[in-house]
Amino acid sequence: MSSAATKLATAADTTSAEAQTLVLVKQLEDAVQELVASYEDCAYLAEAVKKVPGAYQPSDQATDFRKLIDAEVDKVKGTSRSSGHKDQLIRQFKEAVWDVHHAGQPMPGDEQEELVMTSTQNSILNMHCPLTLKPIVELENPVRCMDCRHIYDKDPIMSHIRRSKAPNCPVAGCPAVLQVARIFCDTFLRMEIEELRSSRPSAPNATEVEDISDQGEDEAEDLMDDDEDE
C-alpha cells in the first residue's frame, strides 16, 4: 500500500473513531440529563410529602393520597425557583468531557454561560438575615419564606412572628405577611447556600497572615538598625 493510501486509511480510521466517540458522549450526556431530571423530581416529591399532613382533610370517603401528593408536587414546582443546581451538574459533566482533550482551555462560550448562570439562576434574594445581620452562608438553621423568598435565621424569625398578630417580612420594603406554615428550609435552600459559599473567594489563611506580619516586623527592624547606624 502506498504512503498516500496509508495516510488516507489512517485518517478514515481516526474519523470513524472520533465519530463513535461523539455518539458515545452524546448517549452519556442524555443519560446524565435523565439522571439529573430524576434527582430534581425526587427533590420536589420529598418536599411535597412534607406538606401532605397539613393538606390532608379527614372524611368519610377514602382519601386518594396519590392525587393529594401530585397536587402538592404541583404546588411545590409552582413556588420553587430554579436553584441552578441542575444546570451546575450538567455543566460539570460537560467540563469533564471537555478536559479530556482540552485541559486548561476554557470551553466555547464559557464567559456567556457564566453570565447567564449568574444573572438568571441565582434565587437567593438576601445575603444576610434581616434580623441578626448574619451572613446566610453562616446560618446553622436557615429558613425561607415561600411567599417573598427571603431567607432568615430560624429562631429569630419565629420569635419575630410570635410577637405580632400580622408580622411583616423584616426585609426593608417587603410587603409579605409571614406565616409559620410558609417558612421552612425547602429542599433547594441548603444547596443554594452551599453553591454560594463555594463561589465566595477564600479568605487568607492564618499562615499567610502570619507570614505578612513577620515580614512587616522584619522590615521595621531593618529600618531601626539603619537609623542606629546613621
The pLDDT tens digits of the residues spanning 177-187 come to: 998 988 988 77
Sheet of 142-145, strand order: 151-153, 142-145, 183-184
What does the block give as the cell for 114? Answer: 457564566
Query: In terms of C-beta distances under 8 Å and separation of at least 24 residues, what long-range contacts does 83-87 make, across chains too?
Result: 83/121, 83/123, 83/188, 83/191, 83/192, 83/195, 84/117, 84/121, 84/122, 84/123, 84/192, 84/195, 85/40, 85/188, 85/191, 85/192, 85/195, 86/36, 86/37, 86/39, 86/40, 87/117, 87/121
H or E element in which residue 142 lies = strand 142-145
pLDDT in tens, the chain (230 residues): 566 666 656 666 666 776 777 778 788 888 888 887 787 788 778 877 877 777 777 878 887 888 888 888 887 777 665 455 566 667 777 777 777 767 667 766 654 444 444 433 457 889 999 999 999 999 999 999 988 999 999 999 999 999 988 899 999 989 999 989 889 887 788 888 888 888 766 555 544 444 545 555 555 555 555 555 55
Separation between Cα atoms, residue 210 and residue 81, nearest integer Å: 44
pTM: 0.45
- Residue 12 is predicted with a pLDDT of 61
- Under a CB-based contact definition with an 8 Å cutoff, are residues 157 and 178 in contact? yes
What CATH number labels 124-204?
3.30.40.10
Among candidate residues 90, 88, 44, 38, the one with its CA nearest the CA of residue 188:
44
Give the whole-angstrom CA distance, residue 182 versus residue 210.
Answer: 47
User: Which run of H or E residues covers position 143?
Assistant: strand 142-145
Residue 186 burial (CB count, 10 A): 21
DSSP 60: S
Question: CA-CA distance, 121 to 204, in Å (whole number)?
Answer: 29
Closest CA to 82 of 135, 119, 28: 119
In the predicted model, what is the mean pLDDT of the chain?
Answer: 75
